[in-house]
Chains A and B, each alone.
Chain A
Amino acid sequence: MPDDPSGTASNGADTQWPLWEVFAQSAQGAPYQHAGSVHAVDAEGALQNARDVYSRRGEAIGIWVVPSQSITASKPEDTGPFFDPADDKVYRHPQFYKIPRGLKGL
């Protein structure tokens, strides 16, 4: 992966430009979801390409683009301790906080 984000390989070879990941928001208040990727040399190009590829039929009202190399992902082997529900960690559940009787609104 070249350090230079512009897309020219360090030996001047022809490239298809760096990869960017695209996140799109489909409606007001909806979360941004990963839509796919595009190739571009800079953020403006990535935004335009993302709009043309993933939203030319108006599927998105908002778009984020991020260079793929800027994304940090969890490793599959982390899944266990990273994401296990804390069933054995009782103190996380609000029902185990003692609330004095008579207090409303909690």
Chain B
Amino acid sequence: MVMREQNTEDPQKVAEFEARIARGESIEPKDWMPDRYRTQLIRMMSQHAHSEIVGMLPEGNWITRAPSLRRKMTLLAKVQDEAGHGLYIYCGTETLGVDRSELVDQLLTGKAKYSSIFNYPTLSWADMGVIGWFVDGAAIVNQTVLAKASYGPYARAMIRICKEENFHKRQGYEIIATLASGTPAQKAMAQDAVNRWWWPSLMMFGPSDANSPNTAELIKWRVKRKTNDELRQRFVDQTVPQAQAVGLTLPDADLKLNDVTQHWEFGAIDWDEFWAVVKGNGPCNRERIAARRAAHDDGRWVRDAAAAHAAKAAARSQPAAA
């Protein structure tokens, strides 16, 4: 497909475009871009936005049960931030010429993907800590480089997001640290949550490099800087000491520090589980989409009402025809 698209586009324009990227320039919405760059950016950005929106659900699940007023407020603020992040990125995607209603439709009909991690259930309060620590932690590793992505609107959205994301990760770690140094029941709750979320968090970084055909192209276009495996390793290296610091163990008997490379070697990921979840057979895939579809369908009359009201108001403010 790539070859065919390049054959229909002026190779000189493509070369100039790639040179701009190599020079570190920002591509803006009205600049010439290869069709494939446009479609890949739409796919990547909308998937990111969908992930933020679906990601509101596993955490939103615990707002009504948060065990202190402060935790209730900070969790609500975090989930609200995620809505905001989704919004920033949807708006950035729209600059590429696609309407948000189309993007919403792609998510609800299963045409578009979102991060597999959000297909896991949140079963205890400790999950709120672990999600902030692992999931936001993984997202930060992935996203810091995107603040310099080649597409201007995406980079600008990411700068906003990165500022807010750090607060989320710290919040999560603080919840876990408090639990880990609390009552035996709280510590057990924290360890149980870690045991359930560790491997899915590693899978967040996607398939191993050998199985990631898009990576090279995305790196060339400066919307990815490191490979999946590199980012996954960085996440493990930063997280192991954090777990040690709070006296929790990670559920991997094969975890050991390589004294030469100074990297933490880890055990084999169950890729069968990963692909099953990606294909729609994770624990909560159906429930997540059902929840988003219900919100969308139940909200139809509200959206229509607002639009109808604005149309009436506009008609009333037109001067009467002569």
List residues of chain A with CB under 8 Å of any chain B CB. 4-8, 13-17, 19, 36-39, 41-42, 45, 53, 73, 75-76
Shortest Cβ-Cβ A-B pairs, 8 listed: A6-B310, A6-B311, A41-B310, A7-B307, A37-B91, A8-B307, A16-B100, A41-B306
Contacts of A75 in B (CB 8 A): 30
Question: Which chain B residues (237-293) contact chain A, with CB distance < 8 Å?
Answer: none
B32 within 8 A of A: yes
Would you call A36 and B91 a contact (CB within 8 A)? yes
Contacts of A19 in B (CB 8 A): 91, 94, 100
Q: How many residues of chain B get a CB closer than 8 Å to chain A's CBs?
A: 28
Contacts of B311 in A (CB 8 A): 4, 6, 8
Q: How far does the alpha carbon of A14 sit from the alpha carbon of B101 in the complex, in Å?
A: 8
Contacts of A76 in B (CB 8 A): 28, 30-32
Would you call B310 and A15 a contact (CB within 8 A)? no
Contacts of A13 in B (CB 8 A): 101
Q: How far does the alpha carbon of A36 sit from the alpha carbon of B155 in the complex, in Å?
A: 12
Residue on B nearest A43 in the bound complex, by CB: B310
Contacts of A45 in B (CB 8 A): 306, 310
Q: How far does the alpha carbon of A48 sit from the alpha carbon of B313 in the complex, in Å?
A: 18
Q: Would you give the 0/1 interface string for B135-161, flagging 1 where the beta carbon is closer than 8 Å to chain A? A: 000000000000000000000110010
Would you call B87 and A14 a contact (CB within 8 A)? no
List residues of chain B with CB under 8 Å of any chain A CB. 28, 30-32, 84, 87-88, 91-92, 94, 99-101, 104, 156-157, 160, 300, 303-304, 306-311, 313-314
Contacts of A37 in B (CB 8 A): 91, 94
Q: How far does the alpha carbon of A39 sit from the alpha carbon of B313 in the complex, in Å?
A: 18
Please list 12 pairs of residues, one from A and one from B, whose beta carbons are closer than 8 Å in the complex, sorted by A's number: A4-B311, A5-B314, A6-B307, A6-B314, A14-B304, A16-B100, A36-B156, A41-B306, A53-B87, A75-B30, A76-B30, A76-B31
Q: How far does the alpha carbon of A38 sit from the alpha carbon of B306 in the complex, in Å?
A: 15
Given the known interface contacts A16-B104, A19-B94, A36-B157, the answer about A8 and B304 at a Cβ–Cβ threshold of 8 Å is yes
Q: How far does the alpha carbon of A7 sit from the alpha carbon of B309 in the complex, in Å?
A: 10
Would you call B99 and A5 a contact (CB within 8 A)? no
Q: How far does the alpha carbon of A37 sit from the alpha carbon of B140 in the complex, in Å?
A: 24
Q: Which of B94, B156, B307, B314 has the most CB atoms of chain A within a 10 A radius of its CB? A: B307
Q: How far does the alpha carbon of A45 sit from the alpha carbon of B238 in the complex, in Å?
A: 43
